[in-house]
Amino acid sequence: MKTKKSALGRGLSAILESPETDITSKDISGNYVVGAIANLSLDKIEANPFQPRDRFEEVSLRELAKSIEEQGIIQPVTVRKLGYDQYQLISGERRFKAARMVGLNEIPCYIRVANDQQMLELALIENIHRKDLNPVEIAISYQRLLEECKITQEELSDKVGKDRSTITNYIRLLKLPPQVQLALQEEKLSMGHARAIINIEDENTQRDILNRIIKENLSVRDVENIVKSLCTKENSKAGKIIPELDEKHFEARGQLENNLETPVNIRRNNNGKGSIVISFKSERDFDRIMSVLEKLKH
């Protein structure tokens, strides 16, 4: 049986420890060995331009700053060498910001070497493993890894140590209307609520359900029942009784939609027979989908 890899898989820890990103020669200032830990001036470190987070909770940041003020920085940040006595953050931006807040002049750093592609991947993977991220931030990081780092979902699964179905569920959140995504970021609803709402195709109905969740404090089960009722009514109008998709078919539909970048509908009857309907917008889109399907075969 194939065992699941460690939490970071072949991601952050592997890149940081590999010979390609860790050299042992003296740095050109003659003071530090790249790959070692050194106290560096905050003024010599610039922010990571690939940092995927644009929201840092003020209260949490101040709590971290207070902890640093009392106990110091326990875990060094990671930087890469840019040039003479100049460095750039790879990971640890919250610690970096909190250190500035309490007026520290220096911060302990791991000094590494990484190119821009590795920088983006490092920042995204490190970001995904933070405990304080909301589901939308995680989804955006997954999407950026797939699109900007040109990796497959299988490779992404290995890198972050998550099942493909879990990754698919997060990425599907990005198809929700902006109002629903914002509510998810602000913790006005849970990921369970959002996953239920995704099954409704009409955006106006999705927003209506969001408003009900907030006003009536609906549970995830309440929302699932509402969605199930709405889907049953729609199927009845069409003169069809279609059983609700089980978890396997639900996850499969999500994976197909992500791989093909187009809506996919899976229908099945009580006998287990059914169909998979793949939507396309034009002949060009049809050719694109066929090309993707050919690649998936291999």
Looking at 46, 57, 69, 93, which residue is catalytic? Answer: 93
d(CA 243, CA 215): 30
Write out the DSSP string of 60-92.
HHHHHHHHHHHH--SS-EEEEEEETTEEEEEE-
Q: Is 137 a catalytic residue?
A: no
276 closest CA partner among 294, 291, 293: 293
Query: Which CA distances in Å does 294 have to 140, 157, 200, 207, 257?
Result: 27, 22, 30, 37, 16
| C-alpha radius of gyration, the chain, whole number | 23
In this structure, the strands spanning 106-112 and 86-91 are unpaired
DSSP H helices, 11-152, are: 12-17, 58-71, 93-101, 116-128, 135-148
The residues assigned a catalytic role are: 93
